[in-house]
Amino acid sequence: MVYRLSELQLFSKLSSVTGNLGRNPPKNQKKAMKLIIKNLKAGTGGQEILKGVNLQIRPGEIHVLMGPNGSGKSTLAQVIAGHPSYKVDGGQLTVDGKDIGKLTPDKRARVGIFLGFQHPVEVPGVSVFNMLRRAKQAIGSSTTSRVLPRKALPPSQSVSGLTEIPSSAVPPSASPAKGHNLSRFRQELLEYASSLKLGEDFLRRSLNEGFSGGEKKRNEILQMMALAPKLVILDEIDSGLDIDGLKVVASAIEQFIAHSPQSSVILITHYARILKYLKPDFVHVMVDGKIVKSGKMNLAKKIEERGYNAWQTV
Ligand SMILES: Nc1ncnc2c1ncn2[C@@H]1O[C@H](COP(=O)(O)OP(=O)(O)OP(=O)(O)O)[C@@H](O)[C@H]1O
Ligand SMILES: [Mg+2]
C-alpha cells in the first residue's frame, strides 16, 4: 500500500538521523559499523526470495551488488532496513555483534542504516526541507555532518529564499527550531542541493511528488548527505540518471565517503559505468536469492561483457 510505504519511508528516513548522534568528528571510531549477514533467508507472501545470503560489510568498505532482475537485491536491501513486508525465515543480521533482526525500521535507522530507494515514493504535503528539518529536530540539533567544504552561496540561494515553507506542510509533531540553527541547517541543505545541481526551490517541493526520475535519485543522495548514516544502501541510484547526473551523484557519494571514512556503502547496480567514479572494495553477484560470486572490480567488468549466464541454471 502506497500510503503505508510512504509513512514507513518517511519514518525510516527521519529516524535515521538519530543514528548520527555523536558522529562528529568523522574519524570517531564509534561511527564505525560492522554488518554481518549470515545465511539470511527471507520472503513475502509465502514466496522464498532470499535463500541464504552471506555478506560482511566492514567500516569504510564499498560493496557493489549486481545480479539479474528479480534475483533479490532490493529485497535484501529492504530486509536489512527492516521493511515489515518481508518475513525473515532464518539466518542472522548483526551490527557490531548485536542481532538487529528484531529491530523495527526506525530503530535500525537509529543504528545508522540508510536505504536510498530504487523507487522512492511520493509523500504529498511534506516538503523535502521539512522532512529533513523534522529529522534534525528529533535529535535536538539543526546541524548536519559536513559533507562538502563550506563555501558561500550565491545571493539567489541565500537562506532567506527558504522562509516561505507553508506551516501546513510541517508534520504535527515538528516544533519550531531555534532560528540560528535552523538557518545553518537551511544553508547546509542548500549547499548540498546546489552540489547536486538541484534548483533553489527544490527544498520546498513535496517529497518526490512530480519529481523526474533523476530528481528522485538526487533527492535520495541529498538525504544521505544530510543524514550522514553509517551504512548507506543505494538501490539503483544510477538508474534514470543522465550522464551529467551520474557524475554529480557519483561525485557526491565520493565526497561523502571521503568525509565519512568509517561509513560503508552497499551499491546495488546493473551497470559498471558508475564504478568509473566509485571504486568498490568488493563486487558480489546475486542470483536466485544467493550471492553466488564475490570478487573485485574485474568481476563487474566481466559481468558487463558476458552477463550472468555463468551462474544461471535456466
Ligand atoms: N513485496 C513483494 N511482494 C511480492 N513479491 C515480491 C515483493 N518483493 C519482491 N518480490 C519478488 O521477489 C523477487 C525479487 O525481487 P527484488 O525486487 O528483490 O529483485 P531485484 O534483484 O531487486 O530486481 P531488479 O534488478 O529488477 O530491481 C521478484 O520475483 C519479486 O517479484
Ligand atoms: Mg531491485
- Compute CA distances 288 → 49, 217, 253, 291, whole Å: 7, 26, 29, 8
Q: In this structure, what are the phi and psi dihedrals at residue 32, rounded to the nearest 5 degrees?
A: -70, 145
Q: Which CATH number fits domain 2-311: 3.40.50.2300, 3.40.50.300, 1.10.10.60, 3.40.50.1100?
A: 3.40.50.300
User: What residues flank ligand 1, with Cβ below 6 Å?
Assistant: 44-45, 49, 67, 69-75, 85, 118
Pocket test for ligand 1, best of 49, 288, 291, 314 (most atoms within 8 A of CB): 49
* Global confidence as pTM: 0.84
pLDDT computed for residue 293 by the predictor? 97
Angle, helices 243-259/179-195, rounded to nearest 10 degrees: 130
Kindly report the protein residue whose alpha carbon is nearest to atom 19 of ligand 1.
70
Q: How far is the CA of 74 from the centre of ligand 2 (A)?
A: 4
Does residue 25 have a cis bond before it (omega within 30 degrees)?
A: yes
Q: Which atom of ligand 1 is nearest to the CA of 118?
A: 27
Vertex 102 angle, CA 173 and 237, to 5°: 70
Q: Does residue 31 register a pLDDT over 60?
A: yes
Q: What CA–CA distance (Å, rounded) separates 146 from 117?
A: 23
Q: Where are the domains of the chain?
A: 2-311
Cβ atoms within 10 A of the Cβ of 143, count? 11
Ligand nearest to the CA of 66: 1
Q: Does residue 165 register a pLDDT over 60?
A: no
Q: What CA–CA distance (Å, rounded) separates 204 from 234?
A: 24
pLDDT computed for residue 28 by the predictor? 38
pLDDT computed for residue 110 by the predictor? 79
Spatial contact of 164 and 204, defined as CB atoms under 8 Å apart? yes
With 0-12 / 13-18 / 19 or more C-beta atoms within 10 angstroms meaning exposed / middle / buried, residue 23 is: buried
Per-residue cell: 127: 516538503
The three-class DSSP label of residue 216 is helix
Q: In this structure, what are the phi and psi dihedrals at residue 215, rounded to the nearest 5 degrees?
A: -65, -40
Q: What CA–CA distance (Å, rounded) separates 106 from 36?
A: 19
* Residue owning grid cell 546493473: 270
Banded model confidence at residue 106, pLDDT cuts 50, 70, 90: confident
With 0-12 / 13-18 / 19 or more C-beta atoms within 10 angstroms meaning exposed / middle / buried, residue 22 is: exposed
Pocket test for ligand 1, best of 71, 238, 270 (most atoms within 8 A of CB): 71
Spatial contact of 191 and 259, defined as CB atoms under 8 Å apart? no
Spatial contact of 287 and 256, defined as CB atoms under 8 Å apart? no
Banded model confidence at residue 200, pLDDT cuts 50, 70, 90: confident
Kindly report the protein residue whose alpha carbon is nearest to atom 9 of ligand 1.
75
pLDDT digits 0-9 by tens, 136-161: 666 444 344 445 543 433 333 332 22
